[in-house]
Amino acid sequence: MSPPQQPELESLRAELRTVEAEFAEAMTRMYQVGNHLARVRTALDTYEARAASRQASPQAPVPGTHPTAPVPPPPLAHPGPTPPPSSPPHPMAPVGAAGGHHPSPASPPPRTPLPPPGRPTTPADPWWQRDGLVAKVLAVVGASVTLIGIALLLALAIQAGYFGPLARVVTGAVLAAALVGAGLLVKQRQRGSAGALGLVGTGFAAAYLDILAVTRIYEWLPPAVGVLVAGLVAAVGLVLARAWGSQLLAVLIVLGVAVLAPVIAPGEALLVGSFLLALTIAAYPAQIGRHWVALDVARVLPTTLYAMIAVGVQGDGHRGTVMAVVLALFVLGTAAVGLRRGGPLSPNLLVLVATLPALVAGLAETRWVGLGVLVLVVIAHVAAAALTPVRGVDLPWQLRGVCLFVAAVTSIAAAARLVEGPYVPLAIVVVAISWVAASAVIRDRSLTVAAVITAVVALTTSPRLIPLAWLESEAPSTRWQHLAEAAALVVLLALLGVAARRIAPGQRALAATGLAAAALLAPLTLVLAGSLTARAAPGTHPADGFVVGHMLASVLWMVMAAALLVRGLGRGENAGTAVRVGLALAALVVAKLLFYDLAALDGLPRVLSFIVAGIVLLGMGVWYAQALERSRTPVDNSTAE
């Protein structure tokens, strides 16, 4: 390719100079616009900072601001001949930058962060100037004092008859509306919300108490209608609290009513409890999607207390029981739904607290009504535990663990209400067997904790069987439920060993302990069975069966010791443990023969127990020696030619 001619080269250079001039003019215009933008922004920052600072002098310069100074445009290169570049320009370099370096446009100055509304606080400030603490305290105290004044006004008006019932109700309603209106007005005019929250919270609480007075004192509204209206009023206030994002307002509405409602309706635990239950239900939507622990506590604890009182004073009716059941199911359902939607874990213990009135009602009611309440509570908590997801590690204090704990305790109470009488211990053991069997099948940590709790409660009933199994004088007192209970305890201990082996395979000692306890307890059932058999047979005394049962128990224990020694001859990893346990059990049987059977038994059973046990011991010794010798003899694997 031939080089360009002289006219073409001059034309290209002239075009380059024209483009450079246009670029320089554009850069000058850009810097002018940037300077204008900087002046406007600085002026706006200065105005906002001066308006926010209430203690600074108008003549004093505001910290963080600086005078505006025009930024001079950069010197422009005089258009002229451009020497050829030593290297090709970067593909992203601006057109026309060849031969000269043009500075990039200046970035806008950093904007000074504005202080929050009001005087900003620092950790060095006194505690009364931090985060509006004084304003919040004054709001809470003012709301409390105002509510006390309203309650005293209504009580005084009732006692002295200052004005008629209609005037009292209208005065309370006007006062409540005025307080709410004043709070809304203050909220619009002030950036801080502490004063507005106090006024609005006091107004809604006053309206709620006014409705309570209309329902209870003047009886212008039926209780059901009064509960409905009060719930609607509280719901409106809580909607406003949610819109403002204020937990303080919600707590003022709920807690103020809970504390002062008994002043308006003294001695009416059922009515006050119904009002608070409606308030508990109405307050729940205000905290959906929020972690308002204080509101959880404020709406559940007072209602739980009044539900307990209502169950105690309900008499022949069931209003307190219904209230307790509704409270327990509502708190459980909302906690489970909130956790499935990713809610907080904080209300879990409130599920346990809210269930206490229902548990008390199940124990205090008539037999079948109480049993129905307890069974309903068990089913609800088991279902909630099954449908509740586990967050991270399945801890006992998570919702699943709390529900299973409540279900386990309530199932024991339900078993006691079902049988009522001498069969209560047997029913408790059967319930414990069900929980332990479930934990052996379903490997869940919370379920294991619940199963262990029921098993411990069931095992506490076993000491009552000790005199029946060891004292001959108590043999006539043996009943069939005692034998069934002893057999159930053996099954429970065996299941505990199996569950321990499945849940914690590394804890072999724990599993062996449960199985060993079941094996030691099993022969004692023969004693109870002998006493019962002799009692049922004509011409025999229960003591005769007691003696025969102890003889058979000694023989059975000796057979078990022999079986353990046989197990110890194997090559398994538990062979040594089996030998030690077998020898210990054999020593225990010998001690029983010498110190118990020799004194407690007499006649042929004592002779037979010694003879049979001695023969078994001799046979065990001879057979074990031969088996041990065979196990030590090396095997010749060579073949003859």
Domain, as residue range, for 231 = 137-313
User: Minimal CA–CA distance to 452: which of 413, 505, 510?
Assistant: 510
Q: Which tokens is 108 given?
A: 């806008």
Of residues 307 and 216, which shows the higher confidence score?
307
- What is the structure's pLDDT at 108? 47
Mean pLDDT is highest, among 55-59, 265-269, 329-333, for 329-333
Q: Indicate if the pLDDT at residue 353 is higher than 80.
A: yes
In a domain, residue 117? The reply is no
Instruction: Give the mean pLDDT of the chain.
Output: 75
Q: Is 53 in the same domain as 159?
A: no
Q: How confident is the model at residue 360 (pLDDT cuts 50, 70, 90)?
A: very high
- Rounded Cα–Cα distance for residues 379 and 371 (Å): 12
Tokens of 494: 């065996």
In eight-state DSSP terms, residue 464 is G
Chosen domain end from 42, 73, 104: 73
Structure tokens at 370: 């109480």
pLDDT at 132 over 60: no
Q: Is residue 320 part of a domain?
A: no
Instruction: Kindly tell me if the per-residue pLDDT of 155 is higher than 60.
Output: yes
Q: Looking at residues 42-59, what average pLDDT do you find?
A: 66
Check whether residue 237 and residue 309 sit in a common domain: yes
Q: Is 634 among the domain residues?
A: no
pLDDT of residue 19: 84
Specify the pLDDT at position 432: 94
Q: Is residue 523 part of a domain?
A: no
Q: Are residues 157 and 295 in the same domain?
A: yes
pLDDT digits (tens, 9 = 90+) for 533-573: 888 887 777 777 888 887 788 888 888 887 777 776 665 55
> Do residues 162 and 308 both lie within one domain?
yes
Q: For residue 526, what are the CA distances in angstroms to 262, 385, 462, 604?
A: 62, 41, 16, 18
Is there a contact between 163 and 204 (Cβ–Cβ < 8 Å)? Answer: no
Residue 267, phi-psi category: left (phi > 0), alpha (psi -120 to 50), beta (remainder): left
Pick the last residue of a domain from 313, 335, 361.
313
Instruction: Label residue 380 by pLDDT band (50, 70, 90).
Output: very high
Q: In sequence order, what are the residues at sequence separation of 6 or more whose Cβ sits closer than 8 angstroms to the Cβ of residue 76?
A: 24, 27, 28
Same domain, 50 and 145: no
Residue 148 shares a structural domain with residue 249: yes
> Domain check: are 177 and 285 in the same one?
yes
CA angle 584, 586, 589 (to 5 degrees): 110
154 plus 260 within the same structural domain: yes
Give percent above pLDDT 70 in the chain: 70
- Sorted by sequence, the CB contacts under 8 Å of residue 614 that are 6+ apart come out as none
DSSP 493-517: HHHHHHHHHHH-TT-HHHHHHHHHH
**Residues 160, 56: one domain?**
no
pLDDT at 450 over 80: yes
The predicted-structure confidence for 507-525, as pLDDT tens digits, reads as follows: 667 777 777 788 888 888 8
Does residue 244 sit within a domain? yes
**Same domain, residue pair 198 and 304:** yes
Residue 295 located in a structural domain:
yes
Residues 48-53 have a mean pLDDT of 72
Q: 73: Cβ–Cβ under 8 A, 6 or more apart, which residues?
A: 27, 28, 31, 32
Residue 463 lies in a domain: no
- Single residue among 73, 91, 108 that ends a domain in this structure: 73
Say how many residues make up the chain: 641
Residue 608 · residue 543 · CB < 8 Å: no
Domain total in the chain:
3
In a domain, residue 67? The reply is: yes
What proportion of the chain, given as a percentage, has pLDDT over 90?
13
